[in-house]
Each structure stands twice: as C-alpha cells, then as structure tokens.
Amino acid sequence: MKKRYYITTPIYYVNDNPHIGHAYTTLACDVLARFKRLDDYEVMFLTGTDEHGQKVQIAANKAGVSPQEFTDKVSKNFLYLTEKMNFSNDYFIRTTEPRHYESCQKIWQKLMDNGHITLSAYSGWYSVRDEAFFAESELIDGKAPTGAPVEWVEEPSYFFDLSKWQQPLLDFYEKNPDFVAPASRFNEIKRFVEGGLKDLSISRTTFDWGVPVPGDPEHVMYVWLDALTNYITATNWTEPNSEDFKNWWPADLHMVGKDILRFHAVYWPAFLMAAELDLPSRIFAHGWWTNEGEKISKSLGNVIDPITLIDKYGLDQIRYFLMREVPFGRDGDFSQSALLHRINSDLANDLGNLSQRVLSQIFKNLDGKIPSLPINLLDDDASLLAMLKELPDKVRAQIDNQSFHDALRQIWNVIAEANRYVDKQAPWALKKTDTDRMADVLGVLVEVIRCVGLLTQPFMPDASAKILGQIKVNESERTFVHLSDVNLLSGRIIEKPEGVFPRHQIAEEG
C-alpha cells in the first residue's frame, strides 16, 4: 500500500482579490504535494475558499448582490489563481457546499453531545476584518492587535468550553514537539495557552450569512469553527464508514500564515479533542511578504498581483523566486531587483547556461548522442557524482522540514559545482585533444542535469519538463525512483537545444 500524505492550505476569504500572500501559501503546499507524489506517496492536496462570515456579508451588501451570488462570483478569482499558478490541488473546497453544512453541523452536534457547548450571552469586542473576538485588555489604542477596528457586540451566543482544554493542549504539545513549526512560533503558542484560555463564543445572531446552528437557526456558527471544519469536510466524514475519512484524516500538514496560527494550533486542536477526532500531525506557520520594505495593504495601494508578475516574468521564475528568496517561516521582502537577480543569476546563468552548454556540445560534437558515464572515473568526476548522489536525501530532509529555500540551495550547490567542473574540464578543448574524455565529461554533466531536472520539478514543473524533455527523459521516468537510474539516457539522441530561461534586461526596468 502506498504511503499517504494529506496537505491543506488555509481557505481564502473571498472578499479580497487574490494577491501574492495567497499565492505564496498555496505554492508552498503545491511544492510539497508534487514532491510527495514524485516520491511515491498518494497525495490529497486541498485548497479552497472561506465564504461565510460578517466580512463577506458586508462585501456582498456593498456590491448590491446576495452573499451567495457574491461568493459564486468571487470564489472564481481564487480558482483562476490556482490554474494560473499551475497548482496541483486535488480539490477546491467551498464552504457553501451542502456537504460542508452537514459537516459543520455534525461537529457542532458532537461538541454539544459531549457537553462542550452552552448557551449564554456575549458582550465584548469583535473585529470583522480578523473575524475574531478580543478582550478589553487585548486592545491596543482601541483597536485589535492587528490594527483592525473593533466593534462592541452584545448578543446571545453559544460558548465552547475552551478554558477546559488548557492542560490537554499543553500535554499534547509536550508529547508532540514537532506539532507546530517554526519552533519560535510554537513557543509563542505555548506561552499563549499557558497564560490561560477563555471560553470561546462560537455563534452569532446579528447577521445570518453562515451555517445555522443545529436546533437553533437564529444562530449561525462562528466563521472560524465553520472554516476550520473544511479540512475534515473534504474527507467526506459525514458519510457512514467513509473510506476517505479513514484514508486521509488526520491531515499530515496544515500550512498557514503566521497571522492565523492561533486558530489552527489552539482552537482547532481543542475542537477536535472535544469532538473525539484525531489531531493533524503538523502545522507550519510561514511569514509575511512586504513590498519593497512596506507592509502590503490595499490602502497603501501596493498589493502585488501574482498574475501580473507571471505575465511579465514567467510562471516558473516567480515560483522559484518565492520559494528561494526568503527562508521559509520568516518574513521577507519582495523587491524587483531581488527578483531580477534570481531570474538572471540562478536561472538563466547557473541552471540555464549549464544545460545549454552541455546539450549544445552533445548536439554538435557527438551527433546528439548522449554519452554514458565514464567507466573509469577521474577524481573530479567521482566527487561531483558523489555530491549528486547525496542530493536527493538532502533535499527530501529539507522538504520534510518545509525548508524550501534550503532544498533549492542544496540543488544549486550541485549546479555551481557542475559549472566549476565544466570550466575546469573544458570539454570544448578536449574536442581537439581527447574526444573520449570529452564524451566522459559530457556524460557526467548530463547525469547532473537529469537529476537536477527531476528534483526541480515540484518547484518549476514546466521548466523542468522542458529540460527533461530535451535530454529525452520519458514522462514515465520522471519520478524519484529513477534518480538512481544512472546511464538511463546513454545512446538517446537529442535535438538542437533551446534555452529554457531567458535573461531579463535590468536596465529596461529602470
């Protein structure tokens, strides 16, 4: 039986236009999902849209349409982004799906039956932008800690007994030291829980765009209980004896931005424990992008549209940049010059030139016939090939840690070494003096290009496919078991190679 891997993105609020932050979270999941599939896992990769709540209802009112019409329309923007970014999600969930209503009502009923929900009244501060409740003591200058405005809310409300889950959560964290990453964020979560938890208001009556509370439809469920439940809705857990649920739950990884970690690492595990459901294995909180040093916001007018970037620079260039530039987990800055540098230096020069130089020489000097590896390795051949052999495990370890930048760094270390090797061996000179040695050198290099091309597939699916296609790696030979098939290509005939990564003129950008 194949190993399984279930990975989720947050579901996106539809009131916003998709921007670089949304693309970033899903891209990280896409890289992981693709990597795992190539590594022989059966994968379920889930993304989608969060369509309920006061924020969406307000946006629909402003647009003069019903919330359902509004969400039908705007959720398509996110669907479009997944296509444009070449995301390989297996399903796109919408919280307005009937099965999701059932799923939310089922979890509610479980919490109710297990005695964790009571009806009372809420009075306090609510931030619509964050869809979160705040205590007076948490406000900063009369605003939510995120800077969002808050409003005073007084209404009947059901409460979840979150306060009772402090110790079980701390015990769980203790037993599962990798539950939240990066470690610094996990510490913040522990400190927060150690500080004590208050019961959580989980229903609202002052608007109606949400899932009705079973048996009391005056109330709609708090949007975060509704939203988090999407992760199990997608496993069809409401179906009796659901195979999907057995196969996929608990999730292996919930990928989230740092702003929504508390909901995932505190509330969600507490809901799940209270409903007697298993907890996800890991939650990773990534950092936030700024734009040329400034916080990204609609009001500053500096929102980065991923679609514009893709059209200008190419999809795989953007995918590479986002995964390479900033250590995953930290905040990072988006700058035009950093992007151009990565495109020209890492892609066009390092990988693009390596591949172009080697393939042109095979094409011109060996009638396009791919040579095999040397029978007798010289020291330089052996050390480059040894480095190549170690690469897959190194990359795998980084991917399993969600250190995407380090995975790419490892790959580029090998590319740099291969470029030094070409310069030193100078196969163009060997053409005149020792054609056997020339073929040996090109044989070593084509093996580097093959393995690098296989390992870059999750990050740059199209560009990698082009490279692998040029060296005649069949589609059926592109999974990671083939990494160790040395000499797979020997004797295959290549065509005239074409550059895969165009350079961008820096001057033009001004």
Q: What is the dihedral of CA 124, 125, 126, 127, to 10 degrees?
A: -170
Give the number of residues in contact with ligand MSP, rule: CB under 6 A: 19
Q: How far is the CB of 86 from ligand MSP (least distance, A)?
A: 19
Which strands make up the sheet holding 332-334, listed edge to edge? 294-295, 289-291, 332-334
Cβ-based nearer residue to ligand MSP, 233 or 398: 233
Query: Should residue 97 be labelled a site residue for ligand MSP when binding is judged by CB under 6 A?
Result: no
Q: How many helices and strands, by DSSP H and E, does the chain display?
A: 21, 16
Nearest-approach distance from CB 280 to ligand MSP, in angstroms: 12
Beta carbons within 8 Å of 293's beta carbon, 6+ residues apart: 333, 335
Q: Which of residues 262-321 bind ligand MSP (CB under 6 A)?
A: 288-289, 296
When asked if residue 465 is in the footprint of ligand MSP (CB under 6 A), the reply is no
Q: What is the DSSP letter of 228?
A: H
Q: Which one, 19 or 357, has the nearer CB to ligand MSP? A: 19
Separation between Cα atoms, residue 298 and residue 304, nearest integer Å = 10
Residue nearest to ligand MSP (CB): 257
Rounded least distance, CB 9 to ligand MSP, Å: 8
Nearest to residue 362, comparing CAs of 304, 298, 255, 442?
442
- Residue 196 CB-density burial (10 A; 0-12 exposed, 13-18 middle, 19+ buried): exposed
Segment near ligand MSP (CB under 6 A), from 19-27, 137-145, 415-423, 453-461? 19-27
488 binds ligand MSP (CB under 6 A): no
Q: Does 334 bind ligand MSP (CB under 6 A)?
A: no
User: Which residue type, as a one-letter code, is found at position 361?
Assistant: Q
CB 150 within 8 A of CB 134: yes
Would you say 412 and 354 are in contact if contact means Cβ atoms under 8 Å apart?
A: no
Measured from the CB atom, is 124 or 257 closer to ligand MSP? 257
Q: Which is nearer to ligand MSP, 290 or 353 (CB)?
A: 290
Please, what is the minimum distance in Å from the beta carbon of residue 249 to ligand MSP? 15
* Cα–Cα nearest to 220, from 140, 156, 290, 168: 156
CB of 328 to ligand MSP, least distance (A): 11
Minimum gap (Å) between residue 95 Cβ and ligand MSP: 9
Binding segment for ligand MSP among 97-105, 184-192, 256-264, 305-313 (CB under 6 A)? 256-264
Can you tell me the distance from the alpha carbon of 421 to that of 443, in angstroms, rounded to the nearest whole number? 12
- Closest distance of CB 229 from ligand MSP, Å: 8
Contact 405, 328 (CB under 8 A): yes
Q: Return the DSSP state at 140.
A: B
Question: Which residue carries 């007994």 as its tokens?
Answer: 161
The stretch among 195-203, 207-215, 255-263, 335-343 that binds ligand MSP (CB under 6 A) is: 255-263
Sheet containing 151-160: order of strands: 132-134, 117-127, 151-160, 200-201
Q: Of residues 5, 6, 21, 57, which one binds ligand MSP by CB under 6 A?
A: 21
Is residue 65 within the footprint of ligand MSP (CB under 6 A)? Answer: no
Query: To the nearest whole angstrom, how small is the minimum distance from the Cβ of residue 259 to ligand MSP?
Result: 5
Which of 52, 472 has the CB closer to ligand MSP? 52
Q: Which two tokens stand for residue 396?
A: 């795998």
Does residue 256 touch ligand MSP according to CB under 6 A? yes
CB of 323 to ligand MSP, least distance (A): 13
Of 9-17, 158-166, 185-193, 444-452, which part binds ligand MSP (CB under 6 A)?
9-17
Residue 243 contacts by C-beta under 8 Å, 6 or more apart in sequence? Answer: none
Pick 286 or 466: Cβ nearer ligand MSP: 286
Which residues contribute to the site for ligand MSP (CB under 6 A)? 10-13, 16, 21-22, 24-25, 50, 227-228, 256-257, 259-260, 288-289, 296
